[in-house]
Chains A and B, each alone.
Chain A
Amino acid sequence: MFKHFISLQWKSFWRSASASSGVWMKIFMGFWAVYFILMMMGGSFIAYKYINKELCLDPLEVVSRFLIYWWAFDLIFRYALQKMPIINITPLLILPFTKNKIVSFALGKTMLSFFNIIHAFFFVPFSVLLITEGNASLLNILLWNIGLIGLVYANNFLNILLNNKDSLIYGVGGVMAVLGGLHYFGYFDITQYTAPFFQGLYESQFLFVVPIVAAVGFYIIAFKSFVKDLYLDAGLATKSKTAKTENLEWLDRFGKTAVFLKNDIKLIKRNKRAKTTVLVSALFLFYGLLFFTGAVEAYEGPVWKIFAGIFVSGGFLMSFGQFVPSWDSSYYPLMMSQNIKYREYLSSKWWLMVIATFISTILASGYLYFGWEAYLAVIVGAVYNMGMNSHVVLWAGAYVKTPIDLTSNKKAFGDKQSFNIKTLMLSLPKLALPMILYAIGHYAYSPYAGYALVALAGIAGFAFRNMVFDKIERIYRTEKYKTIWAYKQKK
């Protein structure tokens, strides 16, 4: 029986349109996997050495202290990213499998998830170091690891139980943030209460049973609720929210462009994927902190300031803009057969990016705290974003042919299109050019000359707007049939 399931899985992986069409995609995914693995392994060495040599503390003790945060972070991370195993169950329901088999396969599949395995790359080298260099007892380290494995799997099944219970996970996140804050400022230290448990996993010879029991318990609960909900109108139902008709008449002042602008705003408000993207772009606002606070030494050079400026003001432009026109992929044939001038369609997307950049720039006024020169970098970055990058992004978008499933967050991070050679080439002028321009101005004359050069390039972009739009329009037109075809390839 399981043989069938596994062969189905195998086929669904290799035959999905995106997998078969993109060797690049696999390389890209592989790259990230290796990157994370190396990060985890490197992290374990650095953590051990740092705690041992610099802090002169017992690495095991320190790590055990912070495991409570690790645990909470893992849960939140899973909640945001780990896929639920329910997809593709429906066609199996009426076949002569018992429901228990289907569920145990689905749950079993999640056990092999990357989210579970990744932890081993930190804890295994760390444990080896503890034994070889720290003279920890082999048996106890083993028990400690078994306990942690229990915790990882407890999280795995807990995450399944928590699926779609947003309020709960926000609660956990909020409590952890507050506790972390209290800890940092020295008011209350939660780790004092939790460290004995994690330390106990090592010291006592029976405490490891607790996480194991928890994992098994969560498995049983998840299993039962899954079996119970294996109906089209229960666990497998797609949830729909009550809809409200909106007019957004205040946008009508933008004339013809408003038709699309209104639609784009609804798109962002009503679709999970688009909302996530906007959230990510809001995080870019904080990216500048790394540069302007001097937190990262590598970013000290003056040229990096303009880099930060571009990112802080252009978060939306980069994250949302790079997928134009894929946002409209699910109804692209409609758009293409309607009485639409490409130029109006494009200019509405352009306005959206310009407005968002403007708003980001205002929100970024907090950087005035680091001196007005920091904020000047943001403003200059914004001018460059509006004038140059908005056009470059639209241009690159003409070659993007990845359909977007608006209703799911799948693939929200890392898509094969990010590895499209053409879009890669076009990302150079987005970041490298302003940095080069600034460097020329900065080293030849003064920092202000650098800013002026970058801002001028941005303004020049405005002047060429019509020419650039003509060019983009032509590309859109010649790529039209290919794009329609590609958008039809679901999954």
Chain B
Amino acid sequence: MIGIHNITKTYAGNTVLNIEHLEIPKGDSFGLVGNNGAGKTTLFSALLDLIRPTTGYIENSGIKVSESEDWKAITSAFIDETFLIGYLTAEEYFYFIGELRGQNKADVDALLAGFEDFFHGEILGQKKYLRDLSKGNQKKAGIVAALIGNPEVIILDEPFANLDPTTQIRLKKIIKELAADPNVTVLVSSHDLMHVTEVCERIVVLDKGEVVKDLVTSEETLKELEEHFNK
């Protein structure tokens, strides 16, 4: 589904990303962990063609992301607050994304109904613009917006950060359900080893831009990760 080929990204002589080859098959649930500055967000931004890699290329469903934009129809993401439109209410934002992804209001409403628990009454029907919501609630809105329109590739950067414990648990359930769908590829990054091992079938550890571990999740994975980061 996603192929990363000889990707490097260099800023002023400083290489922040260097991945020779990484293949993420369709239906995978892929977790990315690493310390600050390991290159997680850089990699995700490159996947979305938001930054141009210094060398190499990325393919999404066989389409080179920097050459054609056809991958956008099947891909969605929530990286940070620059994916929110601050002056819209949550509903307006969902409908806007829906319209861009070919979903009418009823479609969006139907999808949102399934997230009532997740929203916990703090997103819909609020008399607030997104810019005035708390960080956690902004994140909830952004994550759900990324699920509109049946995307086949979903990229979430640090989805657990800033969320309260109840919401974290609900989010894990949502991601697991998505991962169970063989047509949906989920890419998640996190600082929380426990969350990632719980929701992802495969975990890649980045360190200074390079892949240092590529694990299929099992009983021992958490331990192995903890040991790695405890060095």
Contact = CB atoms under 8 A, between A and B. Distances in A.
Interface of A: 240-246, 259, 262-263, 266-267, 270-271, 330-334, 336-341, 406-407, 481, 484-485, 487-488
Given A243-B128, A337-B72, A481-B52, A266 B92 contact: yes
A245 B92 CA distance: 7
B97 interface: yes
A346 B86 CA distance: 21
B82 A242 contact: no
B86 A337 contact: no
Mostly, the A contact residues are helix
A407 B52 CA distance: 30
B77 to A, nearest CB: 6
A270 B76 CA distance: 27
A481 B85 CA distance: 20
A455 to B, nearest CB: 37
A406 B87 contact: yes
B129 interface: yes
B164 to A, nearest CB: 21
A330 B127 contact: no
B100 A338 contact: yes
B72 A266 contact: no
A481 B76 CA distance: 19
A207 to B, nearest CB: 49
B86 A330 contact: yes
Contacts of B102: 339
Contacts of A488: 82
Nearest to B86: A330
B1 to A, nearest CB: 17
B49 interface: yes
B127 A242 contact: yes
8 pairs of A and B residues whose beta carbons are closest in the complex: A240-B132, A334-B83, A270-B87, A242-B127, A339-B72, A337-B48, A259-B99, A333-B82
A245 B129 contact: no
Contact of B79 (A330, A333, A338): A333
Interface of B: 45, 48-52, 69, 72-73, 75-77, 79-80, 82-89, 91-92, 96-97, 99-102, 126-129, 131-132
Contact of A263 (B45, B52, B80, B96): B96
A241 B89 CA distance: 12
Contact of A340 (B45, B100, B131): B100
Contacts of A263: 85, 88, 96
Contacts, number: 89
A339 B73 contact: yes
A271 B131 CA distance: 11
A246 B80 CA distance: 25
Contacts of B73: 339
B55 to A, nearest CB: 15
Nearest to A238: B132
Nearest to B73: A339
A333 B100 CA distance: 15
A420 B3 CA distance: 40
17 contacts: A240-B128, A242-B128, A243-B126, A243-B132, A259-B99, A266-B88, A331-B82, A331-B84, A331-B85, A334-B84, A337-B48, A338-B100, A338-B101, A340-B72, A407-B86, A484-B51, A485-B51
A339 B48 CA distance: 11
Contacts of A487: 82
A337 B127 contact: no
Contacts of B76: 337
Contacts of B77: 337
A337 B99 contact: no
Given A240-B128, A242-B128, A333-B45, 6 more contacts: A263-B96, A266-B92, A331-B83, A333-B50, A339-B73, A487-B82
A337 B49 contact: yes
Nearest to B145: A334
Contact of B85 (A240, A241, A334, A337): A334
Contacts of A243: 89, 126-129, 132
Nearest to B105: A247
Contacts of A485: 51
Nearest to A248: B92
Which residue, of A241, A259, A339, A485, has the highest number of chain B Cβ atoms within 10 A? A339
A334 B86 CA distance: 12
Contact of A338 (B72, B80, B88, B91): B72
Contacts of A259: 96, 99-100
Contacts of A332: 82
B97 A330 contact: no
Contact of A245 (B48, B85, B91, B132): B91
Contacts of B85: 263, 330-331, 334
